[in-house]
Chain A
Amino acid sequence: MTLVLTAPGPGDSETLTGCLALRGASLAAVLVGDVDDQTREEAALSVTVPATGAMFGLRAVRAPAGSVDATSIRLSDAGGAPPELAATGDLLRCAVPVTCADLGLSMPFAPENP
């Protein structure tokens, strides 16, 4: 599994956007996140899967606690997560930057009425 989290931009320190994908693209999804403004250590992620519009929740806790740069994230089911995501587990930071496009989520454009 690969998870990409992106901070929206200047002036917004509490929301996250991003995407995730499982091996073989059995699941690719986009997500939004809401950072806990008290702890600053965890976030609630709302994940949207394609086609059906189904959504589920994940809880993400960064580690090590109190650090500036997280080296891992622990994910757990916050409601409705599919079985392959339901188990709690640690995700390590990737060695190289990865984008949603790298995960197969492309941004094509085709004019409707050229």
Chain B
Amino acid sequence: MNRSTPLLLAALCAVAGVAGAQPHTEILDSFPLLELQPVVSGPVDLRFFGTYCQASPKDFCKSVPILPDPCVTLRDMRLHLDHLTSQSGGLLSGTGGFFLDGKRGTLAVAGSVMRRGEARFTAVAPGLGNQTGGAVLSGNGMELTAAVQGRSLTLRKDACGNHPPQVTLTAPFGPSFDFGASVMLASQVTDEDTDFPNERVVFTSNRQGVLGGYRPHSRTLMTTTLVPGNHHVTVTVTDSGGLSGHASLDLTVVNHPPSDVRIYLPAPGATLFAQAPVLLQGHAYDDGGFLAGSGLRWSAQTTLNGPFTPLGVGTEVITSFPQAADPVVLRLTAVDPVGESVSVEETVRVVPSTGNAPPVVAIRQPDRLQSIGPLAGGAGSGIPFQLLATVADVEDAPSDLQLEWTFVALDGPGGNPDPSPAVPNPAPITGTLAPEVTFSVVGTVYYRITFTATDTGGQSASDSVEILATSIVIL
């Protein structure tokens, strides 16, 4: 603020006092809504930005030739324009300077965009008063022609001694990226300007337009929004004078189909009972995490070569089969966000209802749904290992069910029971859903842990997981 000129108010802001006006804080509170990509109803033209200069002096003459000196000479006009976007359309604000018959003058401009390439404005120049006129922008935005009272003046961005930014663009970890992975785009800029706000460093893809993402600084974009496929990516850098430079590169975003698609429940070859609840459990891994919800689609084929009937979606689905069928093909289809899918199938059989449904069981800890690969978890030798299962039965209360945990060493991952384990298998544990077991092994041993629940009618159901017990301390 210039304190020697009382009315010269630098960035003065004032509120309230006008009839109907609101306190300042309330007004500001209402504006964050505008940050949610407000709809702009009026004309905008973002090309009305930059510094425009007069290339050569121009004489403006009065139409009375008998005057001794009917002309004035205008030279070195320099005007910087900003385009401000309001909800109602584009507004222009600018300041500049000039020499009129050798005397320096200043001006300020306010205007509005009328349509693409056209604006109306008011210019204030101390000593010369207010002038209202129109302005036309050339197609490339380089040339601005202002017309006031039948006189015109053309200003150009490239007449200011400014040069377009020199730009290079790199994708340091490219040019191939996994879908969903962060893509780093780094631009380097050489220009008279050293400061470039984010809005003047714009990254675009030929497939997706302007790219959003995290900007550690204005010249770098980290984005996870690129869709699979080939992209021609361009960064456009505009300096304060409104001149732009570009750089481009090609990169590829690769989608990987879902992997580790597994059906855990029911077990392959299981015998299910018609009209009894059946728990379907499975999972699939995709770039960056496990699929859930509609990314996991269950279906069943109950007649040979018949259609697959949808059973539900998600990691777990409770279903039932109305009647006996043998074989029944259960299918789990994993679908990633791009629509690429992988299916696995297993065969079970459904036998007629006996009037007593078997229990529905599932081992919850170790949690195989959060593990990639066939192992559900690992146990340290000599360290208590926590187990947890859930059980439900149509006819019996949980307390009426017989519960048993068994532990069998295997001859390898996914293998058969080891007939002569180096150390005896832990003894079975009964009567609890949440036991602790301690494995005492030397080296590494694969174990199959099986949980079985038997109801009062003699129907039983089991679930199994495999773990690796080890005496090797991993630091």
Q: How many residues on chain A are close to B (CB under 8 Å)?
A: 83
- Which residues between 81 and 98 of chain A lie within 8 Å of chain B, taking CB atoms? 84-85, 87, 89-95, 97-98
Of B41, B126, B132, the residue contacting A14 (CB under 8 A) is: B126
Does chain A have a CB within 8 A of B231?
Answer: no
- A67 vs B109: C-alpha distance when bound (angstroms): 28
Question: A14 near B106 (CB under 8 angstroms)?
Answer: yes
Q: Mark A88-114, 1 if CB is under 8 A from B, else 0.
A: 011111110111101111111111101
User: Tally of A-B residue pairs with Cβ under 8 A?
Assistant: 270
Q: Mark B384-427, 1 if CB is under 8 A from A, else 0.
A: 00000000000000000000000000000000000000000000
Comparing B23-31, B64-72, B221-229, B363-371, the segment that makes contact with chain A is B23-31
- Which residues between 51 and 74 of chain A lie within 8 Å of chain B, taking CB atoms? 51-53, 55, 62, 66-70, 72-73
Does chain A have a CB within 8 A of B112?
Answer: yes
Give chain B residues whose Cβ lies under 8 Å from the Cβ of A111.
202, 204, 234, 236, 238, 244, 246
Interface of B is mostly: strand
Assuming A40-B7, A48-B110, is B122 touching A32 (CB within 8 A)? yes
Interface of A is mostly: mixed
Question: B13 near A93 (CB under 8 angstroms)?
Answer: yes
Assuming A11-B97, A106-B85, is B22 touching A23 (CB within 8 A)? yes
Does chain A have a CB within 8 A of B123?
Answer: yes
- A46 vs B41: C-alpha distance when bound (angstroms): 23
Residue of B nearest to A71 (CB): B14
Does chain A have a CB within 8 A of B18?
Answer: yes
Q: Mark A21-38, 1 if CB is under 8 A from B, else 0.
A: 111110011111111110
Of B17, B120, B202, the residue contacting A109 (CB under 8 A) is: B202
Question: A15 near B106 (CB under 8 angstroms)?
Answer: yes
Of B43, B88, B126, the residue contacting A15 (CB under 8 A) is: B126
Of A7, A15, A109, A110, the residue contacting B1 (CB under 8 A) is: A7
Question: B84 near A42 (CB under 8 angstroms)?
Answer: no
Q: How many residues on chain B are close to A (CB under 8 Å)?
A: 82
- A24 vs B120: C-alpha distance when bound (angstroms): 25
Minimum C-beta distance from A43 to chain B (A): 6
Q: Which residues of B contact A (CB under 8 A)?
A: 1-3, 5-22, 24, 26-28, 30-31, 34, 38, 41-43, 46-47, 49, 82-95, 97, 104, 106-114, 119-126, 129-130, 132, 141, 199-200, 202, 204, 210, 234, 236, 238, 244, 246
Can you spell out 25 A-B residue pairs with CB atoms less than 8 angstroms apart?
A: A1-B22, A2-B13, A2-B14, A3-B12, A7-B9, A8-B95, A8-B106, A19-B93, A23-B27, A28-B88, A40-B6, A46-B122, A47-B110, A48-B112, A51-B112, A51-B113, A51-B114, A53-B119, A73-B12, A84-B18, A89-B17, A93-B13, A98-B24, A104-B87, A108-B199
Apart from A16-B8, A50-B113, what 17 extra A-B contacts exist at CB < 8 Å? A8-B108, A12-B97, A13-B5, A17-B94, A19-B91, A32-B124, A37-B126, A39-B7, A50-B86, A50-B88, A89-B21, A90-B17, A92-B16, A102-B31, A104-B38, A104-B86, A107-B82
